[in-house]
Amino acid sequence: MRRRIKAIFIGSVGNLVEWYDFYAYAAFALYFAGSFFPGTDPVVQQLNAALLFALGFIVRPIGGWLFGHLADHYGRRNSLMLSVLLMCFGSLMIAVTPTYGSIGIAAPILLGFARTVQGLSLGGEYGASATYLSEVADRDHRGFYSSFQYVTLIGGQLCAILVLLVLQQLFLTPEQLRAWGWRIPFVIGALLAAVALVMRRGLHETEEFIAAKAVTRRTSSVRALASYPREVLLVVGLTMGGTTAFYTYTTYMQKFLRLSVGLTDIQTTMVTAGSLLFALCLQPAYGAISDRIGRKALLIWFGVMGTIFTIPLLDALEVARSGLTAFLLIAGAWTIVAGYTSINAVVKAELFPTSVRATGVGLPYAVTVSIFGGTAESIALWFQSIGHQRWFYYYLTAVIATSLVVYVTMRDTKRASAMGRHE
pLDDT per residue as tens digits for the range 220-266: 566 777 777 888 899 899 899 999 999 898 878 877 887 777 777 78
Q: What would the mean pLDDT of 11-29 be, rounded to a whole number?
A: 76
Distances (CA, A) of 241 to 245, 274, 331, 371: 6, 24, 18, 11
pLDDT for the residue numbered 208: 67
In a domain, 311, yes or no: yes
In a domain, 48, yes or no: yes
CB of 414 closer than 8 Å to CB of 143:
yes
pLDDT for the residue numbered 335: 96
Cβ burial of 409 (10 Å; 0-12, 13-18, 19+) is: exposed
In a domain, 174, yes or no: yes
CB of 13 closer than 8 Å to CB of 199:
yes
Instruction: Give the structural domain span for 172.
Output: 2-409
Cβ-proximal residues to 214 (8 Å cutoff; 6+ apart), any chain:
none
- Report the Cα–Cα distance between both ends of the chain, in Å, rounded: 28
Say if residue 421's pLDDT is above 60: no
**Closest listed residue to residue 255, CA positions, set 3, 94, 27:** 27
More confident residue, 230 or 72: 230
Most confident range, picked from 5-19, 40-54, 400-414? 400-414
Question: Could you give the angle at which helices 374-385 and 390-409 cross, rounded to 10 degrees?
Answer: 150
Say if residue 205's pLDDT is above 80: no
pLDDT band at 328 (very low <50, low <70, confident <90, very high): very high
Domain count, the chain: 1
CATH number, domain of 383, equals 1.20.1250.20
Q: Using CA atoms, how far apart are residues 78 and 73, in angstroms rounded to an integer?
A: 10
Cβ-proximal residues to 278 (8 Å cutoff; 6+ apart), any chain:
331, 334
In a domain, 415, yes or no: no
Backbone angles phi, psi at 249, to 5 degrees: -90, 5
Q: Which of 40-49, 50-59, 157-166, 300-309 is the least confident region?
A: 40-49
Q: Which of 118-122, 149-153, 405-409, 414-418 is the least confident region?
A: 414-418
* Sign of the alpha-carbon torsion through 260, 263, 265, 268: negative
pLDDT for the residue numbered 362: 76
Most confident range, picked from 254-268, 369-383, 394-408? 394-408
Rg, the chain, Cα only = 20
Say if residue 16's pLDDT is above 90: no
CB of 124 closer than 8 Å to CB of 72:
no
In a domain, 207, yes or no: yes
In a domain, 192, yes or no: yes
What is the average pLDDT score of the chain?
81
Say if residue 422's pLDDT is above 50: no
In a domain, 178, yes or no: yes
Say if residue 29's pLDDT is above 80: no
Tens digits of residue pLDDT in 83-107: 888 888 888 888 888 887 778 778 8
In a domain, 288, yes or no: yes
